[in-house]
Structures are given as structure tokens and as C-alpha cells.
Amino acid sequence: MDSRLMRDVFGAFATGVTVVTCASGDEAEAAPHGATVTAFTPISLDPPLCQVAMTRTSKACQFLDGRSFAVNILAQDQVDEAWHFAGRPTYPAPAVVDGPAAPVLERAAATISCRPWATYDGGDHLIFIGEVVDVNLGDEAPLLFHRSSFKSLGPRLHASAWLGCSDDPSTGWFDAETVFMPLTRPLSSTPA
């Protein structure tokens, strides 16, 4: 499979932009460290779990294995923070403060603090699962990433995606009450 094509196809999926922060080094010499990550996924509500995937060769992978971390969901006005933690430093550097489990960005659209749950092989990435121990939610609109560009939310669409849908979050995402119907194909007719 062509890696450039795969990158383009994966890039067609719009994602939020996060900065994963953790403490680097030994406890006595721990310093805050962060990396911009778009591969973030909520996993489970019970227990509360989320995951981030990072390139094996990134410095952050060395700091995350077996350690607490925070997922800072960036607000749409935090493009500089995204670039800073992607390796293009800005001055002054974004403010990082002590958090409940790991360092956190001083301002973000939301922050999810996690303790380590598991680490898995993800090919050229490592997948870090964290158990959520604390959250902080603001009112800011999120920063988005689509086709290698930062974007912001557009106007709300007039159609409601949920009314009458079995995915309606007010009744649960595919809860125990949901009935799945098998897909059927029409029988092919053969000429007589």
C-alpha cells in the first residue's frame, strides 16, 4: 500500500487537535513535555478510558510508557500551541501547569487527565490507553485538522442527526434495547 495515498486517505477524516502532556525524566528531574496528536479516541465510559497513538520514534513515546498523561483538546484559537508542540517552537512557550495526574496546558477547550492503563503495538505507532481520573470542559470551539490543514467548525447544519435514529445519545449508543436487523439482498432473478 502506498504510504502517501494512505496518509491522504486518513487525512480525509477530520479530527480534533490535541496536545498530549506528561512529565519527562525521573520524578526528581521531571519536566513537562508535550506533543501535538490528532490520533486521539474516547474508548469506554465504564471504566472511563481513552487512547492516543504516537509515532514510535517520537520523544513523547519514551515519556508516556507506564506514566500518567493529559490530553489537552485545543481550542480553535490555539494554532500556535499546536505548532509549538509539533516541533515549531513559539515564544513565549505555551503555559503548562501542574494537573491532577500530569502537567496540563493552562487553557484548552477541554482537558482529560489519565493514569496509565495499557500500551499496545500499533505498527509504526504505539497506542497508549489511559484511565480518565479528571476532566475539565470549557466553552471554546475546538481546533480541527483536515487534509493537512487546521480548520474551525463551520455553521451548525439545519438537519438533526439524532431524531428517530437508533444512535440517539439520549437513549444510548447501540444500547441493550437496540435491535439490529440483518442486511438482505434481493434475490437475483434468472430469465425463464
Strands (E), 38-99: 40-45, 48-55, 69-73, 96-97
What percentage of the chain carries pLDDT values higher than 90?
A: 37
Taking the domain 16-152, which CATH number applies?
2.30.110.10
Q: Which of 12-21, 22-31, 38-47 holds the top average pLDDT? A: 38-47
Please give the average per-residue pLDDT across 159-168, as a whole number.
Answer: 58
Judged against a pLDDT cut of 70, whether residue 35 lies above it is answered with yes
Burial class (CB in 10 A: 0-12, 13-18, 19+), 72: buried
